[in-house]
Each structure stands twice: as C-alpha cells, then as structure tokens.
C-alpha cells in the first residue's frame, strides 16, 4: 500500500494520473507555478535545502514525480482533484513490471501505424491489444488505478477487473476509482479464491496483479527508522501463516487459463513472504508443466540495482537477479516484486 501518503524519508512520491492528465502537462503546470525541475532525485533533494518548490522525474517509472517531503498536499490543487496521486515508488513497480512488454508492443504498433506500415485498424502480431488485467487483492486501489491508467489509451484499450474481499475496503477501492476517474475498471466485492480460473467469463484475463495482505514489515513507522533484519520468534508463526496464504493466492492466479503474466508483490522484507514464496512456486511440478517461469531481469526493472537475496533463492543467482527488493535507503518502502511468465515452449525450470 501507499504507506504514509507517498512520503519516504525526505521524498514525497506523486504519480501523475494519466487517466486525468499527462506527464508533459504536469511538468508544464509545475513550471508555470514556479517549480524548478531537476533531472535527478538526488539533485532535487540537495536543492530542496534552500528552495521549497522543486521536483524531479523518476528515472525508473515514467508517470512518477519526486517532491520534497515537506511539501504540503493540501496546497497542491492537482492532488486535490486527482490529477496527481500520492503513491510510493515501490508500490508503482508491480503494475509497471506487469505491463512493460504490453506498453512496448503498443509503442511499436503506434510507430508502425505512424509510418504507414499498418492501417488504422490493423495490428502487429503481438499480444497486448485489448488486454485484460485482474487485480486479485485490490483495495485501496493504488496498483489497480495505475494498471488502469497504463492500459487505457486507444492503442491498448485494456480493462481491469479488481477483486476485494473486505466490504469496508471495497468501499475505499470504489472511492479511489472515482477519484482517479478509472472508468476501465470493474470492481468486484469478492474473495479472489472463490473465482473459478476456468470460468468462461474470465478466460480473456491475461495479466494478474497479486499483492496480497502481508506483514507490512517493509513500511517503517514514523518513529521507527530501524527495521530488524529478521522477524521476532513470536512473529514466526504469523509469518508462516501469511506465507501459506500468499502461496495460495499466487497459485490460484497461475491457474487462470488465459494468464500469461502474473506479478507477485509484498511490502514485507521477510524472505518467508518474498523469495521463499517464489521458490515454492518454482518447485511445483504443476506450474512447471504449465510453462510458468520467472521473467528475466530485463523485463523486471532492469536498471534497479537491489535484487533478491541469493541465499533465500537456494543459492541461485539468476533467480535472485530476476526479482526486485526495495529498502527505505533506496527512497522507497521495503518491498518485493517478482514476475512469472507463461511460456509453453520453454524447457521446464529445475528448482
Ligand atoms: N494492491 C493494493 C494497493 O496497491 O492499493 C493493496 C492490497 S493490500 C496489500 C491486500 C488487500 O487484499 C486487502 O485489502 C485485503 O482485504 C485483500 N484481500 C485479502 N485476501 C483476499 C482475497 N482472498 N480475495 C480478495 N481480496 C483479498
């Protein structure tokens, strides 16, 4: 989840809601309002010591801006009307990773169309057009609305189905969809595990976001800057139960008949909820036989340096390199992201 409204240390992360606005328009709006733009977040933070109105574009995630943490949200009208949303950088990674290849395909299609190589209604033989995302565990809806924004344009024209089991949180989700103007999302107050993966109505679901409830050990409270590197003994039973629940949710997602790409994420730093869930998936013959494997690093935030813990991946450096970790020292919440892709022709993974 977003944590304390996008604030991590000295940074306040704001996502440009491209359902209501564009990054170009946002930059112009800030600059007209007397804000100075910096190329690097670090430079922006240094300048913020003497100048309050500064911002930077994020180097990894296109619709993301970094502002100084001291900026007060009520003073920013574009936040008040939902053109900007407060969302931690790490929390933006799952939808970005899920949709990176589809966005690249859409760009190729648009370029081919502009060059007259394909007609207005023609398609390149690639996945992506009309794609359908299912967000298994959606409230409050940060990742749902980001996915919806990324696939909303004419070139993809995608839709999101968003499941939330809890009634109170379902209401929060619906409020967020309204605030973000996410008309291409169908919210469902349902237990994801009760959906049938072979339901004909869900057979065109190709991409799934799996961001289940977790220990939240990656979210530093305002007073507590130090996160212990391992759970306390008394917490272990709870972490184990969470890890089993996370495994059940991600397994259910992998069984959807049309699924080709599934992103798993947590805001936990415990390996039991992170790499070890991934290793349990990779070890299952059922999933190997279906063609599931881990997406390689070049599809999963390739320029992000902090990767998985090798020891927690059974010593396998390739597996560790394919997944992403984040820590508060990276200017984000503690977070974990892995992406599974289905390739029916791939040789089975030995894990
Ligand atoms: N992805 C969300 C976002 O970025 O705003 C945060 C999701 S939060 C970590 C997990 C959510 O999953 C909670 O709202 C919880 O109520 C919901 N949840 C847990 N188990 C579920 C299930 N079996 N089916 C649907 N929703 C579930």
Question: Residues of 314-342 as b/e, b for ≥16 C-beta within 10 angstroms?
Answer: eebeebbbbbbbbbbebbbbbbbbbbbbb
pLDDT above 50 for 101: yes
- DSSP assignment of 74-131 equals GG-HHHHTTSEEE--HHHHHHHHHHHHHHHHHHHHHHHHHHTTSS-TT---SSTTTT-
Rounded to the nearest 10 degrees, the angle between the axes of helix 142-150 and helix 89-114 is: 10
pLDDT above 70 for 37: yes
- CA 244 to chain CA centroid, Å, is 22
Joined tokens for residue 240: 């184990």
Is residue 170 located within the same domain as residue 67? no
What average pLDDT does range 315-326 have in this prediction?
98
pLDDT above 90 for 125: no
Q: Report residue 327: phi and psi, to 5°.
A: -135, 160
Say how many Å lie between the CA of residue 193 and the centre of ligand 1: 12
Q: Is 39 exposed, middle or buried (0-12, 13-18, 19+ CB in 10 A)?
A: exposed
The residue from 58, 86, 114 where one domain ends is 86
Rounded to the nearest 10 degrees, the angle between the axes of helix 167-180 and helix 142-150 is: 40
pLDDT above 50 for 9: yes
What digits encode the pLDDT tens for the residues 328-344? 999 999 999 999 999 86
Among protein residues, the one with the nearest Cα to ligand 1's atom 14 is 139
What digits encode the pLDDT tens for the residues 204-237? 999 999 999 999 999 876 445 456 667 777 788 9
Say how many Å lie between the CA of residue 18 and the centre of ligand 1: 24
Q: How confident is the model at residue 84 (pLDDT cuts 50, 70, 90)?
A: very high
Candidates 163, 267, 313, 326; catalytic one? 267
Residue 344 has a CB neighbour count (10 Å cut-off) of: 9
Q: Residue 25: give its domain's CATH number.
A: 3.30.70.1170
Q: Please tell me what DSSP assigns to residue 296.
A: P
* CB neighbour list of residue 110: distance below 8 Å, 6 or more residues apart: 155
Which three-class secondary structure string do you get for 8-34? ECCEEEEEECCCCCCHHHHHHHHHHCC
Question: Is residue 267 among the annotated active site residues?
Answer: yes
Q: For residue 192, what are the domain limits?
A: 89-342
What digits encode the pLDDT tens for the residues 286-314? 999 999 999 999 999 999 999 999 999 99
Give the position, in ligand 1's atom list, of the atom nearest the Cα of 166: 16
* pLDDT of amino acid 285: 97
Is residue 199 located within the same domain as residue 271? yes
Q: How confident is the model at residue 92 (pLDDT cuts 50, 70, 90)?
A: very high
* pLDDT of amino acid 233: 77
* pLDDT of amino acid 195: 98
Domain count, the chain: 2
191 is in an annotated binding site: yes
Residue 321 or residue 116, greater confidence: 321
* pLDDT of amino acid 87: 96
pLDDT above 70 for 255: yes
What average pLDDT does range 36-55 have in this prediction?
95
Mutate to test the pocket of ligand 1, among 17, 86, 88, 139 (most ligand atoms within 8 A of CB): 139
pLDDT above 50 for 351: no
Is residue 202 located within the same domain as residue 286? yes
Q: How confident is the model at residue 109 (pLDDT cuts 50, 70, 90)?
A: confident
The residue from 56, 86, 116 where one domain ends is 86
What average pLDDT does range 75-81 have in this prediction?
95
What average pLDDT does range 18-39 have in this prediction?
98
What pTM, to 2 d.p., does this model score? 0.94
User: Could you give the percent of the chain with pLDDT greater than 70?
Assistant: 91
* pLDDT of amino acid 2: 38
What average pLDDT does range 101-106 have in this prediction?
89
* pLDDT of amino acid 47: 96
The residue from 86, 112, 145 where one domain ends is 86
Is residue 30 located within the same domain as residue 123? no
What average pLDDT does range 85-103 have in this prediction?
96
Q: What is the mean pLDDT of the chain?
A: 91
* pLDDT of amino acid 221: 63
Mutate to test the pocket of ligand 1, among 1, 93, 150, 165 (most ligand atoms within 8 A of CB): 165
Among protein residues, the one with the nearest Cα to ligand 1's atom 18 is 137
Say how many Å lie between the CA of residue 155 and the centre of ligand 1: 29
* Rounded (to 5) percent helix, strand, coil in the chain: 35, 20, 45
Kindly give the pairing relationship between strand 54-57 and strand 64-68: antiparallel
Is residue 67 located within the same domain as residue 104? no
* pLDDT of amino acid 117: 87
Is residue 169 located within the same domain as residue 302? yes
* CB neighbour list of residue 102: distance below 8 Å, 6 or more residues apart: 127, 128, 131, 151, 156, 158, 207
- CA 75 to chain CA centroid, Å, is 27
Residue 153 has a CB neighbour count (10 Å cut-off) of: 14
* pLDDT of amino acid 223: 43
Is residue 113 located within the same domain as residue 193? yes
Say how many Å lie between the CA of residue 212 and the centre of ligand 1: 5
Is residue 62 located within the same domain as residue 137? no
Q: Residue 298: give its domain's CATH number.
A: 3.40.50.150
């Amino acid at each position: 989840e977003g944590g304390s409204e996008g604030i991590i240390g000295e940074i306040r992360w704001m996502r440009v809601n491209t359902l209501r606005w564009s990054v170009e328009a946002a930059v112009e709006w800030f600059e007209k309002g007397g804000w100075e733009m910096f190329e690097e977040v670090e430079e922006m933070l240094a300048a913020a010591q003497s100048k309050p109105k500064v911002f930077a574009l994020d180097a990894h995630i296109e619709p993301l801006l970094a502002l100084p943490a001291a900026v007060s949200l009520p003073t920013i009208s574009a936040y008040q009307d939902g053109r900007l949303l407060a969302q931690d950088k790490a929390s933006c990674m799952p939808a970005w990773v899920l949709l990176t290849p589809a966005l690249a395909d859409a760009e190729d299609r648009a370029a081919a169309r502009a060059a007259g190589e394909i007609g207005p209604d023609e398609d390149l033989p690639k996945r992506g057009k009309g794609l359908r995302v299912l967000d298994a565990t959606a409230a409050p809806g940060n990742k749902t609305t980001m996915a919806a924004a990324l696939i909303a344009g004419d070139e993809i024209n995608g839709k999101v189905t968003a499941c939330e089991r809890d009634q109170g949180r379902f209401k929060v989700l619906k409020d967020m969809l309204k605030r973000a103007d996410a008309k291409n999302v169908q919210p469902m107050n349902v237990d994801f595990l009760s959906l049938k993966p072979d339901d004909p109505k869900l057979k065109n679901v190709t991409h799934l976001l799996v961001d289940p409830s977790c220990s939240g050990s990656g979210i530093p409270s305002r007073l507590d800057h130090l996160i212990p590197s391992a759970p306390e003994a008394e917490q272990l039973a709870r972490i184990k139960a969470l890890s089993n629940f996370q495994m059940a949710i991600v397994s259910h997602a992998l069984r959807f008949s049309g699924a080709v790409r599934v992103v798993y994420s947590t805001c936990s730093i415990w390996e039991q909820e992170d790499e070890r869930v991934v290793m349990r998936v990779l070890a299952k013959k059922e999933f190997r036989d279906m063609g599931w494997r881990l997406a390689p690093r070049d599809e999963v935030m390739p320029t992000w340096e902090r990767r998985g813990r090798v020891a927690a991946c059974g010593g396998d450096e390739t597996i560790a390199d394919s997944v992403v970790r984040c820590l508060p020292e990276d200017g984000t919440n503690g977070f974990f992201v892995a992406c599974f892709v289905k390739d029916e022709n791939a040789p089975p993974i030995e894990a």
